[in-house]
Chain A
Amino acid sequence: MKQLTVISGKGGTGKTSITAAFASLAKNAVFADCDVDAADLHLILKPKIIKTMQFHGLKRAVVDKDTCIDCKKCYDHCVFGAIDEGINIITESCEGCGVCEYVCPVDAIQMVDRDSGYAYLSETRFGPMAHAALNTAEEASGKLVTVVRNNAIELAENNNKNLIIIDGPPGIGCPVIASITDVDLVLIVTEPTLSAIHDLERILGVAKHFDVPAIVCINKYDINIDNTQNIKQYCLKNNIEIVGELPYDVNVTKAMINEKTIVEFSDDDLSKKIKKMWGEIEEILIK
């Protein structure tokens, strides 16, 4: 079984639209939305949820005010600033370490499970899908990414699928690292803007750090041809293959509004280029 993650560093370069297009082209794949903070792939793939699982992230502290003797030991020891002087827990700041529970002399603090979100196993018109939703202001999105990835592997094994296509989050931190560790290939979607080029260099550094092979796709290459040339030169110099140069196309937004992948929505130049790119990625994955 192979795993491909689509990432970008910078947000909004077109990861999800491209992942959705791949979903309509891949013949025997499972799809995973690992952008659990702001998941959007389901808006296009329209999954029918088959199984819902509660996700508990880090634990959180609760104080029993009747037992508390106001000694403030917990307040003094909390390094996260998650307990105020009145001994109230600021849940958004609590990282669940358990120090307050340990130092409390009267057992007034308990660490309890947080309902941090849900993980889903679903069916789509293109194949099985693993996804999730993080509850408002919850943490541990990296841990939820790992749950989604494990669910995707289980779906692939149970359905004899030989590929997992993962829609990754933006950035370079915890959820991104959880999305790319041990995958066979990452596709980095960039665009010819100075911001995206800056971010491309950082995300390529992360892929290299974790020893994951990376290839690049330049989306909206025609909005700044000079910058596109600079990306190509940079990739050439660093021995990174560019598998696609996609034109700016208003049909991307139209397809999204119609809840279709760009490949389903239109057979225009962009669709043809995505199909060709997908062919090349499949070949790289087989190698």
Chain B
Amino acid sequence: MIISVASGKGGTGKTTVATNLALSIENAQFIDCDVEEPNANVFLKAKIKDSKNVLVIVPDVDKNKCDYCGKCSEFCMYNAIAVVPSNVLVFPDLCHSCKGCELVCPRDAINWQKRSVGKIEHGQKNGIDFYHGLLNIGEIMAIPVIKALKKLVDPAKDVILDAPPGTSCPVIETIGGSDYCVLVTEPTAFGLHDLKLAVEVVKRLSISFGVIINCDGIGDNRVDDFCNEQKIPILLKIPHSMEIAQLYSKGIPFIDGIPEWDKKFKDLYKTIKKEKGK
């Protein structure tokens, strides 16, 4: 089963939930898809054994063949290629690698070269097969790194995907194809507002989902009310607690710091399986 953990609002506890859930399942595969700011391994502490660059292709114009007709730049939707009277400029970080420029070039002047936009690292810890992606600093597009991570999903295993915050392309790329999505929120005005946006996204993608309320007790009951009205299952509540916050600040998964939570996360997994079966 592929379980993704997402949120809308950042900092609600996605990585906390994903890490503790992965640790409480036997033989899980755990993939941190928040390639802009991956934090799962701050908690998991898997020793990284291998690393691989994520490569994308960008046009490499053969200036001997090019006659500066401008058809490529006219076609490119991303302004990634510009033609001036006697030169062609390629802006690699804007290129989506669609190959349109090659198709429209009448002189076959477009070749392709590879460039690295990030890397994927792999390690193991306590039986967990762990991967995360790192977008290179200054790089715009996270999608190719997330796509490369998603190719590593092993459907024979229980797979936990830690999603980035937000509701747009990197989130959709991460949670697309999941069997179940856990939305982590907090009982505040911001938490509720962004939860509603996240609910719209998972509904659009037709993914079964439930909610975890983190920092329960910090705010008001409007998240509870919303979930009840919408008949969204509340899978778990994690109390607002200084002990949990301090363990978090030190990078300690709180099922290790507070052992009774190990059972709660094992139960969470059972609840998700049951909800998915409905």
Contacts and interface: CB of A to CB of B under 8 A. Distances in A.
Interface of A: 8-13, 16, 37-38, 40, 43, 58-59, 77, 79-80, 92, 95-99, 102-103, 134, 136-139, 141-142, 169-177, 191-195, 198-199, 202-203, 205-206, 209-210, 223-224, 227, 250, 253, 256-257, 259
B11 A99 contact: no
Interface in B245-269: 245-246, 248-251
Given A37-B166, A92-B176, A256 B189 contact: yes
30 contacts: A10-B37, A12-B10, A37-B197, A38-B10, A79-B98, A95-B98, A97-B100, A98-B100, A99-B99, A134-B167, A136-B167, A170-B10, A170-B165, A170-B166, A171-B165, A171-B170, A172-B135, A173-B36, A173-B140, A173-B170, A174-B141, A194-B251, A199-B39, A205-B138, A209-B138, A210-B138, A227-B249, A256-B189, A256-B190, A257-B219
A98 B78 CA distance: 11
**Closest 8 pairs between A and B when the two form their complex, measured CB to CB:** A11-B10, A12-B11, A97-B98, A37-B166, A171-B36, A209-B138, A194-B251, A224-B249
B218 A253 contact: yes
Contacts of A250: 218
Nearest to A259: B189
Contacts of A96: 77
Contacts of B246: 223-224
Interface residues of B, number: 58
Of A141, A193, A209, chain B has the most CB atoms within 10 Å of the CB of: A193
A285 B175 CA distance: 41
A40 B7 CA distance: 14
B189 A257 contact: yes
Contacts of A202: 36-37, 137
B200 interface: yes
B189 A195 contact: no
Interface of B: 8-12, 15, 34, 36-37, 39, 42, 75, 77-78, 96-100, 103-104, 135, 137-142, 164-172, 176, 188-190, 193-194, 197, 200-201, 204-205, 218-220, 242, 245-246, 248-251
B169 A12 contact: no
Contacts of A98: 75, 77, 98, 100
A110 B219 CA distance: 49
- A-side interface mostly: loop
Contacts of A79: 97-99
Nearest to B195: A38
A92 B100 contact: no
B190 A37 contact: no
A12 B215 CA distance: 12
B8 to A, nearest CB: 5
Contacts of B34: 171
B103 A11 contact: no
A81 B193 CA distance: 32
A48 B78 CA distance: 34
A204 B199 CA distance: 32
A206 B139 CA distance: 9
A13 B11 contact: yes
A275 B193 CA distance: 28
A79 B95 CA distance: 13
A77 B138 contact: no
B184 to A, nearest CB: 10
Contact of A11 (B11, B42, B188): B11
Given A98-B77, A173-B140, A253-B218, A38 B165 contact: yes
B39 A192 contact: no
A51 to B, nearest CB: 22
Contacts of B169: 139, 141
Contact of A195 (B42, B170, B171): B42
B204 A10 contact: no
A206 B201 contact: no
Contacts of A95: 96, 98
B138 A38 contact: no
A248 B165 CA distance: 23
B142 A40 contact: no
Given A170-B165, A224-B250, 20 more contacts: A11-B37, A13-B11, A38-B166, A38-B193, A40-B9, A92-B205, A99-B99, A138-B168, A141-B168, A170-B37, A171-B166, A172-B36, A173-B135, A173-B140, A174-B141, A193-B249, A194-B250, A206-B138, A223-B246, A227-B249
B99 A77 contact: yes
Contacts of B142: 171, 173-174
Contacts of A227: 249-250
Nearest to A96: B77
A223 B195 CA distance: 26
B65 to A, nearest CB: 20
